[in-house]
Structure 1
Amino acid sequence: MDTTKIIQPTEKKAWYRNMPDPMVLIFMILVATYLLTFVVPAGVFERVTVDGKISVVPGSFNYLTDVPSVHFFDIFVAIPKGLISAAPYLFIVFIAGGLFHILQRTGALENAIGVAVNKAGVKNRNLIITISTFIYGFFGVAVGFENNIALVPVAVLISAAVGYSSLVGTVMAVGGIGIGFALSPINPYTVGVAQGIAELPTFSGAWLRAVMVITSLALLSYYICTRVTKMEYSESGSNQALSKDLSEYQLGKKDKLTLGVFLAGLGVMLYGVFANNWYINEIAGLFLLMAIIIGAVNGLTANGIVKQMMEGASGVTAGALVIGVAASIQIILDQAQIIDTIVNALSSLIQDMPIAISAIVASVVQGIINLFVPSGSGQAMVTMPILIPVADLIGMSRQLMITAFQVGDGLTNLIVPTSGGTLAMLALGRVSYEQWLKAILPFMVFVYALCWVALFIGHLVGY
């Protein structure tokens, strides 16, 4: 008898398909950041305050000699500090989780989506995904990034209605919002701040950014329909799928009243964002008020509302905690005072290159800096006073440098673990950071290539 064993060849998986647990991955980055403090010397730029905004003084970088050392134990101390610093993100995830748990229990949102998809026809699900992706992209363009956190569960329900997993809905929402925000022609947080520093008309040069955002959203829609819908994914929550057949859905009076409260709340949010500069805390407070009103409309007692809120919050706890742990990376960088050193070194890379290539490299540099300075407006304040004079020195237009900055800063928000807004959205979509990277990384290769071609053409046409 032949006892020779037949060894089956093991399937070689792409590197991004073997990611560790998100907590493990972020802790590894935290340890690597700690080790970086022994290699990168501390340094600072001088800063000035103009019209209430703090900007870096170009050419003012100096190394520091008297900086407190970062100890091994500080790695672990940084985690609770990160949780504290990221508290607004954690709380909006908990509150939004509670709000949508109540909405799901009322059935109003599910009924509305079921009726809408039934009328559109589930056979047109690729069209539904494409339209939804562009709608989320519009919100990213016009409203912002973190301001749209609460809309992610709606996409998950739309995805379920057309027979797909919550991963498809999350990529549709987070990807659409992220691309819209990253390449927005009218982004006040990045383009507005950067053009103010560069003394350019606000939102000038919008045509190239408009071409990039429309093309990228079309690419994302195609990628979702052809790739993400076929990915294996295990649902992480029993409430992600629709509860009945599409033909059984209808909207009652209480459903319409509940949806009216929800849509009115979103309208108030948009007004607050544009008219009163609302941000995370104000939006979280509004979500809490919406949850109370929706609960009361549906006959819940005070105790019932609290119970439903707690159940919803508990379902997103793991995702919320990832946000806080990721924030600990920034704590170590600030303590070691090496952010300015990294910015200074990276900025010097583009000075001796052909202009078109410099624009592409500048976007890569900004993407790396975004890992250390995750705020778009904050990054503009730190890097633009340095890179605008560099652009003038090498003959690159200021407009092209700003667009390169926007591409580098915005797109990396979709993949870096220090982007609190992205992690908050993933928590509400019940998709882990690990699963998100597996789904989105192949797309990022294509969208970066598209934007780099746009930057190259932009230089050729005198943008």
Structure 2
Amino acid sequence: MSQPQPVSTPAVSKGKEINVFVLLFAVLAIAVALTYVLPAGEYSRVEVNGRSVVDPQSFQFVDSSPVKPLGLVNSIHTGMEEAAGIIFFVLIIGGTFGILTTTGAIEALIVTLSRKLKNQEKWLIPIMMFFFAMGGSLMGMAEETIPYIAVMIPLAVALGFDVITGAAIVLVGASVGFTSAIMNPFTVGVAQGIAELPTFSGAGFRIGVFAVMYLVSVGFVYRYAMKVKRDRSLGFFGGFEGTNADELLRSDVVLTTRHKWILICFLINFLVLAFGVIRYGWYITEIAGLFLLLGIVIGLIGRLSANTIVDSFMKGAAGLIAGALVIGVARAVVVVLNEGHVLDTILYYASAAIQAIPPAFTAVGMLVLQTVMSFIVPSGSGEAALTMPIMTPLADLVGVTRQTAVLAFQFGDGISNIFIPTSGYFMAGLALAGIPWSRWMKWILPLIVAQYAIAVVAVVVAQLIGYGPF
């Protein structure tokens, strides 16, 4: 997709970052070491209503079977094999987004909305944040939002706001959606699959969470933006001082009838998806097929040639290769713990430690753990693949519903997306905007505290009401 550029681009120094695969390999090495340190043990699994559940009274220690050093590298291939369904699911959806980007429909929609809001700046923040929040909640938009930062910043500055406001509209907006995850295939879709929950079940509760998170976040950004509008000395402008949106608003990008039909098809796709999941119990195979069909349809409507459709699909899928591989490597950690028969031992000790804690507060503990894990595995789908095989049986053991465990995961992953320095797309967004991480943290800390407070209340309420189906 062609990307409107700001009038001036600030120089950004890039600090050293530890690659997520290096971190995962370290975790994998620790997992191998644990098979030598921890005693081996096993729980029996029983089938309850078609799903595998841990029998909490069945734990017993067994003969030690530590994983040999060669098993460390072998586990990566095994992990990718076991996670193949989810990996290809992610790649297919990424390919469809690639076709959508090539049609120019999303870019045209953003530019058109920007033009209409030029003289109604008070509506810019709630409307555009809602757009990005819906993208994050329904489509898992994260990395895909980065190009729009270059669109929103000059527009925000030209309307009397600042660089932080422009970046926050995109980053905080998408994070609200990713956190609530009404139908996010990359987080809730993956986590519920591992937890053996019906795909996208419990959406009503998440819609309520979305509404609260959205209103609080919009209020925070709006209040700050209006302060800057009244007193520019309170804002941060970096290299965008004096920027105006004339170039953007004079561009020849328009929302054509073809673009409208493409966006209508995209909306219809989610309606069909919701119907199929609720009525027929569709899972990732059917959902991936639906997105693949959508990609072909919007490509034809966009008058793309067959070769262009394929090339766009490949480009979109290529953009998610790293995230897809993270899922496989994360799964390798579980493979090692299972082969060494220490995964159940970890569950046994963890459940014993929190047995006396009320289940609602156990769910809060899961939220804290997931937040910590997001520093190590910033990929939402990768974190789900790594933690949910442990959190699911732990939830069964301590009386927390599996749906609540998934809720704790999505909060821990989603909120962290807008402040952890290991989040690739977030740091890329700050770099594009020229905002120092320390300046961003000073600004956003009150919102982070507010969002975690909402998350704690939500998981406590979820457990008290037996948020399910199980």
TM range (shorter): 0.5 to 0.7
Q: Deviations over 1:1-29 (max 9, x none)?
A: xxxxxxxxxxxxxxxx8751222122222
Count of residues paired in the alignment: 394
User: 1:241-280, aligned counterparts within 5 Å?
Assistant: 245-248=248-251, 249-280=253-284
* One-letter identity of the residue aligned with 2:286: E
User: 1:80-119, aligned counterparts within 5 Å?
Assistant: 80-119=77-116
In structure 2, do the counterparts of structure 1 residues 369 and 52 end up closer, same or farther at CA, with 3 Å as the change threshold? farther
2:20 corresponds in structure 1 to 22
2:398 corresponds in structure 1 to 387
In structure 1, stretches of 5+ residues that fail to align are 1-16, 141-147, 197-201, 234-241, 389-397, 418-425
1:131 corresponds in structure 2 to 130
Q: Deviations over 1:178-214 (max 9, x none)?
A: 23459xxxx99999x99x9xxxxx97xx99x887665
Q: Deviations over 1:305-364 (max 9, x none)?
A: 222322333333333333322222222122222222112211222344689866744654
User: 1:38-49, aligned counterparts within 5 Å?
Assistant: 38-49=36-47
Out of 323, 326, 330, the position equivalent to 1:326 is 330
* One-letter identity of the residue aligned with 1:280: I
Matched, 1:70 2:67: yes
| Structure 1 stretch displaced more, 69-78 or 313-322 | 313-322
1:79 corresponds in structure 2 to 76
Q: Name the CA distance, whole Å, in 2 between partners of 1:31 and 1:222.
A: 44
Please state whether the residue corresponding to 1:48 is helix, strand or coil. Answer: strand
User: 1:15-414, aligned counterparts within 5 Å?
Assistant: 19-65=17-63, 67=65, 69-121=66-118, 123-124=121-122, 125-132=124-131, 135=134, 139=137, 148-149=139-140, 151-152=141-142, 155-156=145-146, 159-163=149-153, 169=170, 172-180=173-181, 214-221=211-218, 245-248=248-251, 249-352=253-356, 360-361=364-365, 364=368, 374=385, 382-388=393-399, 405=405, 408-414=408-414
Please state whether the residue corresponding to 1:38 is helix, strand or coil. Answer: helix
In structure 2, do the counterparts of structure 1 residues 431 and 88 end up closer, same or farther at CA, with 3 Å as the change threshold? farther
2:10 corresponds in structure 1 to none
Q: Name the CA distance, whole Å, in 1 between partners of 2:387 and 2:404.
A: 13
Q: Name the CA distance, whole Å, in 1 between partners of 2:262 and 2:54.
A: 49
Q: Name the CA distance, whole Å, in 2 between partners of 1:323 and 1:100.
A: 19
Q: Name the CA distance, whole Å, in 1 between partners of 2:191 and 2:317.
A: 32
Overall identity of the aligned pairs, in %? 27
Q: Deviations over 1:190-242 (max 9, x none)?
A: 99x99x9xxxxx97xx99x8876654444444677769x97999xxxxxxxx9
1:6 corresponds in structure 2 to none
Q: Name the CA distance, whole Å, in 2 between partners of 1:38 and 1:27.
A: 17
TM-score under structure 1 normalisation? 0.66
Q: Name the CA distance, whole Å, in 1 between partners of 2:429 and 2:70.
A: 26
In structure 2, do the counterparts of structure 1 residues 259 and 384 end up closer, same or farther at CA, with 3 Å as the change threshold? closer
Please state whether the residue corresponding to 2:323 is helix, strand or coil. Answer: helix
In structure 2, stretches of 5+ residues that fail to align are 1-14, 154-162, 226-234, 240-244, 378-382, 418-422, 432-436
Please state whether the residue corresponding to 2:46 is helix, strand or coil. Answer: strand
In structure 2, do the counterparts of structure 1 residues 173 and 273 end up closer, same or farther at CA, with 3 Å as the change threshold? farther
- C-alpha displacement of 1:74: 1.5
TM-score under structure 2 normalisation? 0.65
- C-alpha displacement of 1:70: 0.4
* One-letter identity of the residue aligned with 2:113: A
In structure 2, do the counterparts of structure 1 residues 104 and 354 end up closer, same or farther at CA, with 3 Å as the change threshold? closer
* One-letter identity of the residue aligned with 2:85: P
